[in-house]
């Protein structure tokens, strides 16, 4: 057995115990690509047409094929979204056609771009970001300039409005078809967004939370967003029906009889 193959076997066995997981951590630091190559078969064991989760009833477009693919936090691109999450957002935007929506938290604008590409011409997506630095190396102004240039290059600029502001205190537009909440992930932050934005949706409008559930391994999920999502599902059933989601995205629809909340 080659040294590489031996290390691979070791990593495979290491996942069973705490001590093993510690060993695994040092293996990952030593050779990340080898470690993840070895973990792949464990993580992707359910990947077959017989067993893969989230297989759709109908194929409605490319976005219905996302159950075939995988992505994880180590191979994120511009969007802080996994493949199935991006395709879910794109599919929703496409179904909505000409629509008016808002996004809270855009960072580099990956989710902004996915939504804009899915929406029909004549739509308007208002994106809010506070330019909180996620890592030291990115500057919000520069990220927005790059995003704006890309939107212009691809003919999407007229359907997107990039605003800098605190989502908890800006004046939300009204009668929105959708709101995607992916900003402050603390319990207080995400709850403030929920309370401030839920009345901005029209009856039948779509409320989406990113990082609100973790159905798959290597999924990013924020426990405090998950907590709020559980509370809405449990306590606010008269106002919102949980209809689905993908990856860590949780999707509620505003009940047509649940309008007019106190903000
Ligand atoms: C997880 S990132 C968004 C990722 C993006 N939606 C994507 O899919 O690529 C969270 C963003 O929320 C922004 N943010 C945090 N608190 C905010 C607030 N109170 N108002 C507006 N934006 C906020 C941060 O500046 C950051 O860019």
Mean of all residue pLDDT scores within the chain: 87
Do 107 and 226 belong to one domain? yes
Q: Is residue 234 part of a domain?
A: yes
| Cα angle 109, 82, 75; round to 5 | 90
Q: Which DSSP string do the residues of 51-89 spell out, in sequence order?
A: T-S---SS--SGGGGGGG----GGG--SSSS-HHHHHHH
- Domain with 26, as residue range(s), is 3-43
Do 70 and 38 share a domain, yes or no?
no
Looking at the domain assignment, is residue 59 inside a domain? Answer: no
Alpha carbon of 168 to ligand 1 centroid (Å) = 12
Instruction: Specify if 120 maps to a domain.
Output: yes
140/218 same-domain check: yes
CA of 104 to the centre of ligand 1 (A): 6
Token pair 């900003």 in the structure block, residue: 183
- The confidence score (pLDDT) of residue 135 equals 52
* Residue 90 belongs to domain with CATH number: 3.40.50.150
Global pTM reads: 0.85
Checking if the pLDDT of 189 tops 70, the result is yes
Q: For residue 50, is it within any domain?
A: no
Decide if pLDDT at 262 tops 50: no
Task: Pick the residue whose CA is nearest to atom 5 on ligand 1.
Answer: 106
Supply the pLDDT for residue 115. Answer: 96
Closest ligand 1 atom to the C-alpha of 109?
A: 9
Closest by CA to 180, choosing from 241, 129, 224, 227, is 129
Whether the per-residue pLDDT at 113 is higher than 90: the answer is: yes
Answer yes or no: do 132 and 29 share one domain.
no
Cα Dmax for the chain: 68
Closest residue by Cα to residue 207 from 157, 130, 159, 261: 261
**From ligand 1's centre to the CA of 184, what distance in Å?**
6
Total domains, the chain: 2
The reply to whether ligand 1 has any atom less than 6 angstroms from the CB of 201 is no
Q: What is the pLDDT of residues 135-162, one digit of tens each?
A: 556 789 999 999 999 999 999 999 999 9
Q: Report whether pLDDT(38) > 80.
A: no
The answer to whether residues 32 and 147 belong to one domain is no
Q: What is the DSSP letter of 157?
A: G
Q: What is the pLDDT of residue 228?
A: 98
Answer with the residue of higher pLDDT: 122 or 217.
122
Decide whether any atom of ligand 1 lies within 6 Å of the 144 Cβ: no
131/37 same-domain check = no
Is 193 a pocket residue for ligand 1 (Cβ < 6 Å)? Answer: no
Residue 33 has pLDDT above 80, yes or no: no
- Over 50: is that where the pLDDT of 260 sits? no
Measured by CA distance, the residue closest to atom 24 of ligand 1 is 132
Residue with the larger pLDDT of the pair 84 and 21: 84
Count how many residues are written for the chain.
Answer: 263
Residues 35 and 71 in one domain: no
Q: Tell me if 60 is assigned to some domain.
A: no
CA of 170 to the centre of ligand 1 (A): 14
Query: Does 119 share its domain with 188?
Result: yes
Tell me: do 217 and 145 sit in the same domain: yes
85 and 29 within one domain: no
- Which pLDDT belongs to residue 261? 42
Is residue 52 in some structural domain? no
Q: 93 lies in a domain?
A: yes
Gap from CA of 45 to ligand 1 centroid (Å)? 33
Ligand 1 atom with the shortest distance to the CA of 108: 9
Q: Is 263 domain-assigned? A: no
Confidence band (pLDDT; 50, 70, 90) for 235? very high
10 and 123 assigned to the same domain: no
Between 75 and 242, name the one with better pLDDT. Answer: 242
Q: Specify whether 147 is located in the same domain as 195.
A: yes
């Amino acid at each position: 057995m080659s040294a590489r193959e031996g290390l691979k076997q070791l990593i495979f066995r290491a996942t069973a115990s705490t001590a093993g997981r510690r060993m695994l951590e040092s293996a990952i630091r030593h050779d990340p690509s080898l470690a993840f190559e070895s973990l792949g078969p464990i993580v992707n064991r359910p990947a077959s047409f017989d067993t893969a989760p989230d297989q759709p009833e109908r194929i409605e477009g490319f976005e219905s094929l996302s159950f075939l693919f995988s992505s994880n936090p180590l191979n994120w691109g511009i969007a802080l979204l996994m493949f199935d999450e991006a395709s879910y957002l794109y599919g929703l935007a496409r179904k909505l056609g000409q629509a008016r929506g808002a996004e809270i938290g855009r960072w580099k604008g990956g989710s902004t771009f996915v939504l804009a590409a899915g929406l029909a011409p004549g739509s308007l997506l208002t994106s809010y970001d506070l330019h909180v630095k996620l890592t030291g190396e990115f500057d919000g102004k520069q990220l927005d300039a790059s995003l704006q240039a890309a939107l212009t290059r691809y003919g999407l600029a007229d359907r997107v409005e990039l605003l800098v502001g605190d989502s908890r205190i800006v004046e939300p537009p009204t009668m929105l078809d959708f709101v995607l909440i992916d900003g402050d992930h603390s319990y207080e932050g995400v709850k403030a967004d929920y309370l401030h934005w839920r009345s901005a949706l029209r009856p039948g409008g779509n409320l989406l939370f990113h990082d609100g559930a973790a159905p798959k391994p290597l999924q990013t999920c924020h426990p405090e967003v998950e907590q709020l999502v559980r509370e809405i599902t449990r306590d606010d059933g008269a106002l919102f029906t949980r209809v689905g989601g993908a990856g860590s995205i949780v999707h509620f629809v505003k009940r047509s009889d649940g309008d007019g909340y106190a903000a």
